[in-house]
Structure formats: C-alpha cells, structure tokens
Amino acid sequence: MNIATTGIIMSKTIIVTGGAGFIGSNIVKRLNELGENRILIVDNLGNTDKWRNLAGLDFEDYVQKDVFLERLSGGAFGGKISAIFHMGARTSTTESDMEYLMKNNYEYTKILALWAVKEGVRFIYASSAATYGDGSTGFSDDHSLLTRLRPLNAYGYSKHLFDLWALKKGLLDKIVGLKYFNVFGPNEWHKGEMRSMVLKAYEQIKKDGEVRLFKAYHKDYGDGGQLRDFIYVRDAVEMTLYFLEHPEINGIFNIGTGKPRTWNDLANAVFTAIGKRPSIEYIDMSESIRGKYQYFTKADISKLRLSGYENETTILEEAVREYINTITCKGV
C-alpha cells in the first residue's frame, strides 16, 4: 500500500476516533509504518489504562471525544482533515443503556458523517457483524438486504440503526461502513469481558491449565463446535486502509476471512501456541443469553473481492501463534 498515491492530500491530518482502542490503535500503528504521523487521536481515556495502547505510536495530538465534537462543531477543523477513521463506540454486547448507545454510537456517528461529507473528507466508520443477528438472513453486505436484518442486542441495533440512516439519506455512495467480524490481536487487553477468546483462553490456560467453552444448545452443533469468522487484527487493518487507498470505493463491506472456524479450533490453536496439550471444559450457557447466541457467522467478502481487494488473510493457527508470541514477549 502506498498512501502517498491515494489521491488524498496526506499533508492534512487523519483523525482516528477510538484511537486508543483495539482496532483504532492498530490503525495508527500501521499508518506510522506507512510513514504517516499527522494523526489526531480522539478517545475517552478516563481512568482506564487504555493509554498504554498509545505508547510508541507517533501522532500529532490527543483530544477527548466530547471536546473534539465541540471543536468540530465550532469550525476548528475546516480544511485541515483528509480522512476520519471512526472506530470509537461503546462495543459491549451486554450494554443495556439504550439511551447511552443512541447518543454515543448513533448520534455521534451521524454528526461526524454529515460533517465529513460536507467537507469532502474521507469517512470510514466501524459497523459490526452484530447487525446480522442470528444469521438467519445470511451475512451479505448487499445494501438491499439491510432492512431485513434483526440484531440480537442493543449494541448491534445501535450500529444497524446508523447503517439504515446512512442508506436512507443516500450517504452510502459517499462513505464506507465496515462490518467487523470476530477480530483478535494485540491491544485488546483493556476490553474486559469483550476481549477475544484467544486472550481469554491464554489467561485461563496460564491460571488453570484448561479452557472453558460454552456447551451447545442446538442440534446441529456439538459442544465447542459453534462457528465464528475469526480475523486477525492485522488483516482487518489492511482491509480498512484499503478504503483510504481507494477513495472511489464506498458502501458497506464485511471485514472477515470468509472461512469460519469452531471455538474448539481456536482453543486448540492457543494450546499449540503455548506448547501444552489441549484440556477443554464445556460449561453451561446462562439462560439470559441462550436466545441471543450466534451459532454461526461467516463474512461474505465477495463484494470486497470484487472491489479489487486481493490480499489473503492469515490462517487461524498462524495468527494465534503470532499473537501469543506478542503476549509472551510483553510478559503479560
């Protein structure tokens, strides 16, 4: 990738909201590797240790997310921005405060999108695979199917609602929405219960010598045989930056491998990376989530491929091994 030839004036600043978060900080890291450091980080660090994800990154400035919105509305950034990667959001699938999600995930994104389109700024935002609900309507990112989707949780609905709004306002031919599937990799340790199963499995093995996976409550799946589209964050970032490189491509796109694997595969890959024999305990799933549980996800990435994206994704075992090596080197 050569961001100098994208047609975007790189002498201007790139904004990364959620820039101290998981995917956001990895985007900044990759931009740095490509020679770009005119970056404004927007986030809400609060009293967390998310700041550690910024250590070693090269960027112009940091602005708290509400202050940023005030400055944006006040005209502080007119003519100074080349692109916005809007990765900031409340991403917990168990969040129940819908008013908060509407303000933070929906309304905030609307303001940024409208400003970006008005200013002619490249706008790439994070949607989510959670918008697909139980998968009964498939996992196609075809815009004509958006109205058929039924998310299973409030987080997924807040993301879906913006996708629908952008569709109705005719913005999907001017902006890019990315539906990230199960992303894992460095800089996710701060996410609490929302960290990937790779990291959770590593922690469980180190503590107890075994991994705990949910039992299956579906006749078509064995325990641990539920399927997910796991994608390494490095691959997800490459797909994301593809749309910076190609400003002529717009719309909603899935970000995944298109090759679902079981939770058992994932757990076994972690054991192999650590050098231990697999030991898996299958535990009961709470009644509260059984009706909202996805047994299968698979990103349909045919539209991404048709747009010209050719890079292959890292196979699960290789990605897990690299990630575990990263964790081990940091002494986590």
Q: What is the mean pLDDT of the chain?
A: 93
The alpha carbon of 85 is separated from its chain's Cα centroid by a whole number of angstroms, namely: 11
Rounded CA separation 164/50 (Å): 31
- Which own/partner contact pairs does 97-101 have at CB distance under 8 Å and 24+ positions apart? 97/154, 98/154, 98/157, 98/158, 101/154, 101/155, 101/157, 101/158
- pTM for this entry: 0.93
What integer pLDDT is reported at residue 274 of this predicted model? Answer: 96
Considering the candidates 155, 180, 202, 242, report the single residue annotated as catalytic.
155
Tell me the pLDDT tens digit for each residue of 63-91: 999 999 999 999 999 899 999 999 998 87
CATH 3.40.50.720 fits 13-184+230-256+299-312, yes or no: yes
Verify whether residue 157 is a known catalytic residue.
Answer: no
- Which own/partner contact pairs does 237-241 have at CB distance under 8 Å and 24+ positions apart? 237/23, 237/26, 237/27, 237/30, 238/1, 238/30, 238/311, 239/178, 239/304, 239/309, 239/311, 240/23, 240/27, 240/85, 240/124, 240/178, 241/1, 241/3, 241/27, 241/30, 241/31, 241/34
Verify whether residue 242 is a known catalytic residue.
Answer: no
Tell me the pLDDT tens digit for each residue of 275-320: 999 999 999 999 888 877 889 999 999 999 999 999 999 999 999 9
Considering the candidates 191, 215, 259, 292, report the single residue annotated as catalytic.
191
Taking the alpha carbons at both ends of the chain, their separation in whole angstroms is 32
At 105, is the pLDDT very low, low, confident or very high (cuts 50, 70, 90)? very high
